[in-house]
Structure formats: structure tokens, C-alpha cells
């Protein structure tokens, strides 16, 4: 009987003790670091609006603060031989599992805790946005490259396309005599990716002497481990602004790789627009003392020009294509055979739509077609050369 009375009196005591402990447990709060990130996110949004409305401010920011952030990110990741961006992408499934486990163990006790947890996760997305604004975004809204190079970017005639194609064919035919090809007809790059990287950086040094706004510093092009799966997206390279890395698809034929690497290095140096990154890559390849890199630059730009010429005048296009050397013709035939395996697939369609939407949102109404606008710059370049 005494025992029963003791139990009856202990129950409310235990409940009261639990309620006291619960009352003493402080509510979870958003970490100060996350609050700082949200404040920086607000500042970044203001900066982004200023980029869009003020070309001088976009130029200033891109050449000062943006350049410093890009350099810092490139230095921080250059020591890693693999692509940090790719490693982060591959770790996403593991990270998702980890997020669920952490939420279950530490943030499921109340609705307030879950909101705090979501606030922490969203601050990561805000961080990516901050890095985009502070490192890369200004480049989309600054002075056009044609203005910086004093090029007259006018409407291109079919005759000018044919003339530009003829110049490129002449250079290609001369360089093709120095090529080594495999059994498929594809040329073989005669050195490693590390050596290619060194040669491209040397070429960037030379271009910087002529055009000071094109930055020069040490960085490393990162071959993508999953290059073959990446080929299904039709992506040959990508600059990841949040890690500062220039990543290249090394599954594509060798002749595309130096030009692609130079293109991604151009992004790393603040040349954001795709046609402008293509043209800077062309200038860099031309400045190289290596014949294979020059060949890569000429052939990649020739393909853009030839495509435009085909749309403008098929007879002139056929005449241009017929004048290519046998080695270059075999190179192009081998590429068509290679690309046929990846031409039509869902991954390519999704990738095209995403990239098109992104480019359109950054002030390029042409979307993915902006890559092809390098033709205008190439024609303007050779027009200016002929006038000198």
C-alpha cells in the first residue's frame, strides 16, 4: 500500500521534471555565419542589379574585385589534380543522405528546429549565388569585346564569310602537314594535358601583352573523369565559378581540346559571354608557338565560319570545304563519325535547355546560339587585318 502511494506521488514529479528540462532547453537558432551569408546575399543582389544597369560599374568590378576572387579560387583549387567541382557533384547522393540523417537526429524535435535547418541549407545556395556575383556575373554586362579590340562588328556578307573561310583554310592546310593521325583519321595531340596547359598559359601571357584586360595568372585545366558520360550532354568544357576551375571533356577528339581549354581559361579570366570566350580562345591559340594549338584554334573557328557559310551560300561552302587538305577532311569526317554516337539523346536536350535558359537570363537573348556569334568577331578581325 505504501508502494502504491509512492508511485502515485512520483508520476507527477517525473512529468514536472521533464517539463522543466524541456523549458530549460534553448531553442535552436540560425548560426551567425548563416545570418552573415544572408546579409552578403542581399548586398550581392544589389551589386547584380548595378551590373545590369551600369556598364562602367560592371567593367570596374569585373577587373578588380571579380578578378581578385577568380584568382583566389583558382589558386585554392590549382593544387588538386582532379576537378573539385566534379567531386562535389559525385558526392551529392552521399550529401543528401547525410542531410537527412542530421535532420533526423538534431532538427526533428519541433517545427521551429526544422525551419532553422532549412535556413541553414538554403544559406549554402545563397553562398553559390554570392560567389557567382562576386567572381563572374559582372562579365556578362561589361563593355563588349569588339569595342575593347576596336573591331567593327557589322552585318556579315556571304562574300566576307567566304573570304574568312579561305584565310582559315590556308592556315589549316599549312599546319596539317605537321599532324600525326590515328587510324580513324583524327589528329593526335603530341603531348600531355599538363604540357598543353603550360603552352596555353604562355600564349595567354603573350595575349596579355597586347590586350592588358585579358588577365594572366597560373591556373590548371582540369580533365573531367567522367568525360565519356559528359559527351552525351554535348558539353566539351565548363567553368565552375564556385570552385574557380576550368574543366574540359577529354573524351572528345584531340583537336577540340586545346581550343576548349583556352575557352574555359578565358571564362576563368572574366570573359563571360560565350562568343567572346570563343574569340579570346582563338586569339590565344594563334599566339601559341605550338603548331597543334594553332591548328586547334583555326579548325574550331573554321567550323563555326563554315556552318554560317553553309547557311548563307551552299555553293561557296562546298568550294571552301573542297579546298581543305586531305588530312583536315579526314579529321572532320572522323569527328562526324564520333559525334553521331551522341547526337540524339535526352541528356543533350536537357543540357541544351538548361544552358539556353541560363545564358538568356544573363543578357544573351541568343542563348546557346551565342557561341556561333564568334563568326562575327572572326570576320571583323580579318577585315581589320586586311585594312591595315
Q: What is the predicted pLDDT for the residue at 252?
A: 95
pLDDT, greater one: 171 or 352: 171
Q: Which residues contact 155 (CB under 8 A, 6 or more apart)?
A: none
Residues 6+ apart with CB under 8 A from 49: none
DSSP letter (8 states) at residue 167: H
pLDDT at 292: 97
pLDDT range class, residue 26, cuts 50, 70, 90? low
> What phi, psi does 142 have (nearest 5°)?
-85, -170
Q: What is the DSSP string of 211-260?
A: -TTS------EEE-TTHHHHHTTT--EEEETTTTEEEE-TTS-GGGHHHH
Q: Is the pLDDT of residue 172 over 90?
A: yes
Percent of the chain with pLDDT over 90: 63
Instruction: Let me know how many helices (H) and strands (E) the chain has, helices first.
Output: 18, 3
Q: Check pLDDT > 70 for residue 6.
A: no
- Mean pLDDT over 317-332 rounds to 94
Mean pLDDT of the chain: 87
The candidate with the shortest Cα–Cα distance to 88, out of 268, 238, 272, is: 238
Counting beta carbons within 10 angstroms of the beta carbon of residue 303, is it exposed (0 to 12), middle (13 to 18) or buried (19 or more)? middle
| Lowest-confidence pick of 272-281, 286-295, 349-358 | 349-358
> How many Å apart are CA 352 and CA 231, to the nearest integer?
13
pLDDT exceeds cutoff 70 at 25: no
pLDDT at residue 270, rounded to an integer = 95
Cα atoms found within 13 Å of the Cα of residue 363, Cβ hemisphere only: 17
301 sits in which H/E element: helix 291-312
> Residue for cell digits 563519325?
337
CA-wise closest residue to 375 among 291, 310, 286, 284: 310
Report the pLDDT value the prediction gives residue 358, as an integer from 0 to 100.
65
Q: Report pLDDT digits (tens) over 63-121.
A: 999 999 999 999 999 999 899 999 999 998 998 888 888 877 877 778 888 888 888 88
- β 221-223/245-248 pair status: parallel
Domain boundaries along the sequence of the chain: 32-140, 145-387
The per-residue pLDDT for 367 is 47
Residue 378 in 3-state DSSP? helix
CA distances to 168, 184, 226, 285, 388 from 298, rounded to whole Å, are 6, 21, 27, 8, 21
Q: Is the pLDDT of residue 266 over 90?
A: yes
Q: How far is CA 226 from the centre of its chain?
A: 16
Check whether 271 has a pLDDT greater than 80.
Answer: yes
Distance between CA atoms of residues 84 and 76, nearest Å = 10
Higher pLDDT, 288 or 22: 288
Amino acid at each position: 500500500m505504501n508502494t502504491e502511494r509512492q508511485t502515485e506521488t512520483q508520476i507527477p514529479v517525473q512529468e514536472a521534471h521533464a517539463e522543466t528540462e524541456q523549458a530549460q532547453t534553448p531553442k535552436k537558432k540560425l548560426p551567425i555565419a548563416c545570418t552573415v551569408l544572408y546579409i552578403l546575399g542581399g548586398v550581392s543582389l544589389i551589386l547584380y542589379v548595378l551590373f545590369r544597369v551600369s556598364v562602367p560599374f560592371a567593367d570596374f568590378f569585373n577587373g578588380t574585385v571579380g578578378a581578385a576572387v577568380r584568382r583566389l579560387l583558382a589558386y585554392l583549387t590549382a593544387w588538386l589534380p582532379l576537378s573539385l567541382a566534379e567531386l562535389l557533384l559525385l558526392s551529392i547522393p552521399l550529401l543528401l543522405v547525410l542531410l537527412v540523417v542530421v535532420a533526423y537526429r538534431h532538427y526533428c524535435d519541433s517545427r521551429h528546429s526544422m525551419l532553422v535547418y532549412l535556413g541553414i541549407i538554403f544559406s549554402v545556395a545563397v553562398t553559390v549565388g554570392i560567389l557567382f556575383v562576386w567572381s563572374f556575373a559582372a562579365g556578362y554586362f561589361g563593355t563588349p569585346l569588339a569595342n575593347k579590340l576596336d573591331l567593327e562588328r557589322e552585318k556579315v556578307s556571304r562574300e566576307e564569310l567566304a573570304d574568312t573561310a579561305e584565310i582559315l583554310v590556308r592556315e589549316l592546310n599549312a599546319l596539317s602537314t605537321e599532324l600525326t593521325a590515328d587510324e580513324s583519321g583524327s589528329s593526335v595531340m603530341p603531348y600531355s594535358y599538363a604540357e598543353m596547359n603550360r603552352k596555353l598559359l604562355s600564349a595567354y601571357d603573350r595575349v596579355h601583352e597586347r590586350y592588358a584586360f585579358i588577365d594572366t595568372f597560373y591556373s590548371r585545366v582540369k580533365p573531367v573523369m567522367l568525360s565519356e558520360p559528359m559527351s552525351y550532354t554535348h558539353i566539351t568544357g565548363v567553368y565552375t565559378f564556385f570552385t574557380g576551375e576550368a574543366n574540359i571533356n577529354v573524351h572528345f577528339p584531340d583537336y577540340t581540346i586545346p581550343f576548349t581549354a583556352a575557352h574555359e581559361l578565358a571564362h576563368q579570366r572574366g570573359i563571360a559571354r560565350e562568343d567572346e570566350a570563343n574569340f579570346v580562345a582563338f586569339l590565344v591559340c594563334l599566339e601559341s608557338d605550338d603548331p597543334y594549338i594553332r591548328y586547334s584554334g583555326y579548325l574550331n573557328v573554321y567550323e563555326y565560319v563554315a556552318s554560317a557559310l553553309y547557311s548563307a551560300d551552299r555553293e561557296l561552302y562546298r568550294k571552301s570545304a573542297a579546298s581543305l587538305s586531305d588530312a583536315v577532311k579526314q579529321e572532320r569526317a572522323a569527328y562526324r563519325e564520333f559525334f553521331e554516337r551522341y547526337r540524339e539523346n535526352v541528356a543533350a536536350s536537357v543540357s541544351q535547355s538548361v544552358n539556353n535558359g541560363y545564358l538568356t537570363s544573363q543578357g544573351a537573348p541568343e542563348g546557346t546560339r551565342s557561341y556561333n556569334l564568334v563568326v562575327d568577331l572572326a570576320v571583323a578581325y580579318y577585315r581589320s587585318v586586311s585594312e591595315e
